[in-house]
Amino acid sequence: MKFILFAACFLVIRISFAQALSIDSDGTGGISNQGTGSIRYKVTVLGPGGHSWGDFGLVNPHHALGKMIHYFSDNAAQFSAVAKTKTSFNVGKIGGGTSVNSIPFESWMEVDMRSEDDESLKKMDSIFNASMQKGLEEYNSNRKTSPALTVKIDQIGFRPSGVTSTETSLVQRSMASIQSFGIKPTLFIMSGNANWPISKGIPAVTLGWGGKSDKAHSLDEWWLDDKGTDAIKLALLTLISEAGFIK
């Protein structure tokens, strides 16, 4: 078999054309054999812009976007509470405007939605789109002489969900590699580079990069290189085992 090693956002090891091994997340005992699906959008509300005093009464994209977020947050939270699997939503970035005394000509946000199954993700997606339209239409309906605001919605990310069976040799040998280090393997679900091959029916797993960490994506995020080299050894052992060099 041929091996291709390359770096993207995270390390991904291709085992022939039929399997994939991704390196992501901390620790050395975890094996992700299931991909969390995700959809991401950038929403841009557009208007003419103007002066906060001289053009008071002109449509304001920030005000409209706030209404759109309000509807989405409420409706999405209601669905998330009853969804059959964990389903999340998040407004992760927001911006626009040029000065405190200017009515902005655009307001934008970036939204992330995730779920462990495609059905729930599609439902969250429909809630998002309906909320965007409802908020914008309601805002525009209250304007007097000003031109209407418009919205541009661009999909900036998509990862399908899926599962690699625990019966596949890739999962079994990943577990055996971890056990050989005296570590108890655990299966978990995450969103990462393994999603796409899994969705195409290609066996794929994600192993940890080692060490310990906490408070991911916060200002207090940390990572400690505690036996971090074990992760490299585990990935290599899994790779050569699956390639047939170790029986």
28 vs 38: CA distance, rounded Å: 25
What proportion of the chain, given as a percentage, has pLDDT over 90?
A: 77
Summarize pLDDT for 63-85 with one digit per residue, the tens. Answer: 999 999 999 999 999 999 999 99
Architecture of the domain defined by 3-36+162-242: 3-Layer(aba) Sandwich (3.40)
* Buried b or exposed e, range 14-33, using 16+ CB within 10 angstroms: bbeeebbbbbbbbbbbbbbb
Residue extents of the structural domains in the chain: 3-36+162-242, 37-159
86 vs 120: CA distance, rounded Å: 9
Q: H helices then E strands: how many in the chain?
A: 5, 15
Contact of 61 with 246, CB cutoff 8 Å? no
Summarize pLDDT for 28-55 with one digit per residue, the tens. Answer: 999 999 999 999 999 999 999 999 999 9
Intra-chain end-to-end CA distance of the chain, in Å:
15
Domain 37-159 adopts which CATH fold? Alpha-Beta Plaits (3.30.70)
* Buried b or exposed e, range 137-169, using 16+ CB within 10 angstroms: eebbeeeeebeebebeeeeeeebbbbebeeebe
94 vs 74: CA distance, rounded Å: 18
pLDDT band at 216 (very low <50, low <70, confident <90, very high): confident
In the structure encoding, which two tokens stand for residue 5, read together? 């090693």
pLDDT of residue 4: 36
Q: What is the pTM of this model?
A: 0.85
Same fold, 3-36+162-242 and 37-159: no
138 vs 149: CA distance, rounded Å: 11
